[in-house]
Chain A
Amino acid sequence: MPIDAHAVATLRYIRASMEAAGTVAVPGSAGIAMGIIGLLAAALASIPPFRSHWLVIWLLAAAIAALTGGVLMARQSFLQGFTLLGAPARKFVLCLAPGLFAGAVMTAVHWSAGNLHAIPGTWLLLYGCALIATSAPTTRIVGVLGGLFVMLSLLAFWLPASLHPLVLGAGFGGLHLVFGVLIGRKSHGSQI
């Protein structure tokens, strides 16, 4: 093997080893951005003229938050020299996707059956489970966040529907925001 080909193969091996061992970096900024979007959605859905459109507002907020979080995570991966097709990113998607897919299916099932009151609890529960699963390729703090979402979901199933906007805001807004700050501080000292 020519010497430069051997060197290139060595670099590839180093990169593959790093990717296989690497974890997905969840930037605090992603949590903060998603939290702000969640709080805005909660505020908008609580305004009387928009209350009846809470489902659409939250679905739009979910799409915007997912896109924002995805872009910020991709940026972080890029800064660390990993690609979105690398092993850590694949593990992350495989852990996250089943919970989100189940959430989408259950939303459609509840909506078609007229069980709108069950949707907030279902979202919080399945998103929490998805986060717990993603703590494996990310960090433990993401699992803790997932656990809190699950606990909040139990509260949502128990509380009357009139308090659901508050619970959704506390979860998708408050928890994301608080944990975004915590993750940012843990990763970069006082910076986010």
Chain B
Amino acid sequence: MFFGLFHGIASPLAGSQPLAAAGLDYAGLGRALLPEAALAAGALAVLAVDIALLRAAGTALRFRAAAAIAAVAVVAALAFCLQTGSSGEVFGGVLVLDSLGTAARAALLCLTLVVLGVSAGAAVPRRPAEYCAIILFATAGFTLMAAAQQLLLAFLALELASLSLYVLAGFDLSRPESAEAAMKYFLLGAISSAFLLFGFSLIYGLTGTIDLTQIAIVLARQGPSPLLTVALVMVLVAFGFKAAAAPFHLWAPDVYEGAPAPSAALIASGSKLAGLVLFTRLLWPGLGEAAGDVSSAHFGAGWLPVLAILSGASLLLGNLAALVQTSLRRLLAYSAIAHAGALLLGVIVVGSSGPGPVFYYAATYALATAGAFGIVGILERTGGSLQIAGLAGLSRRSPPLAGCLLVFILSLAGVPPLAGFFGKFAVFAAALKLGGVAGPAGWLAVAAILLSAVALYYYLIVVKQAFVAPAPANPAPITVSPVAAATLVVAAAAIIVLGVFPSLLLGLF
């Protein structure tokens, strides 16, 4: 078999091969992959129903049918995912369903539900069935990324997700910005994939295995080498791109601005979370030997100092550049870059504090961003391209939308008792635990805390438009589809509940 073949090649340490002892448990693999199977089946069903039954129907109806089928598929996947639970390594360690994997898969499926829900309020895409099917494929890629514990599967999952996202970014054929976004995203994404694959091949060459657990064992024995450094750089470049961390952030503002709103929501939320989990797994369990040290001022060489630099650069650049944005989408993009800085700090502390803080941060951040893009989509449907000034009077025109926007934006700003605050709190506390303010991790935490006061300014500008500025004369009425409205309200409520009871997520780890 495919995977077995690779294990066969990559077994210089036959004695410690888990496969030999465990045998290949196809039934277990099947059970573990039920969510992905449900997603794939759902995607095919969406396409089949559309082609077979709805060719003559209007796009609105076709979209509703497609989104409904897709939502059913996601709910089924979620049920499978929760039913399987954290069952540990699957198929000899190709996949791992630990608490992080399970929590991430569940969170990713929920995020896809949110994206499907808010897409009901955005402009209807021209080929609705394809749109929904590709969202499902992307989601399948995400959930695989969340559980992959082997380089090849990790790369395939990442490519499945990425290729789907390139298409989603360019889906709006009526706007040249959309095509531009897709092109930029694709070119830079393809380059970063190439880096990643090159890095993977070097790691394979060095260690003779593609299994993360095996890689760790071999690296512990080999110690550092120049080739490993090159491989690490390659991997970090790809990570920086995926996380939209400076200086690999350049695609983010254009893609967030040009892509259709639901696509942007998915790129900003699910893709971020899945990438984070994938690279966390890759770096800590896999390459943890080469982590280095950032707890004191004497850098220990490794990938941690590099991540720390990326984190600092992102915090600084994101927060400062966001100050001057006039477009809500670009503001969200720079805020995403700033958040990427904090998320990288979260990855840094995984080694000492576990994945709880960074997962909580990423999941709640993703939810808030998806919600914010949902609102962007609804408003753009009625008002065209959205400037921050275009939010004027939102609280009079649509109080529920304004209320949801307030929750999402303030959560992004990290105002307690919303979830965004506790994400920051947990990550920064963990970072300071590494060594107080004696080392880069602590410096970054303090800088991030102080920069959050800067960030409050641009977030307040957004809510100020919505709540303080008077509505324009004769505004177009805002129509919100009930499904989108319900989705947004549930998302906002979830942010409040997760904020008031952070242990609901933090307690999982």
Is chain B found bound to chain A in the same assembly? Answer: no
Question: Residues of A with Cβ closer than 8 Å to B?
Answer: none
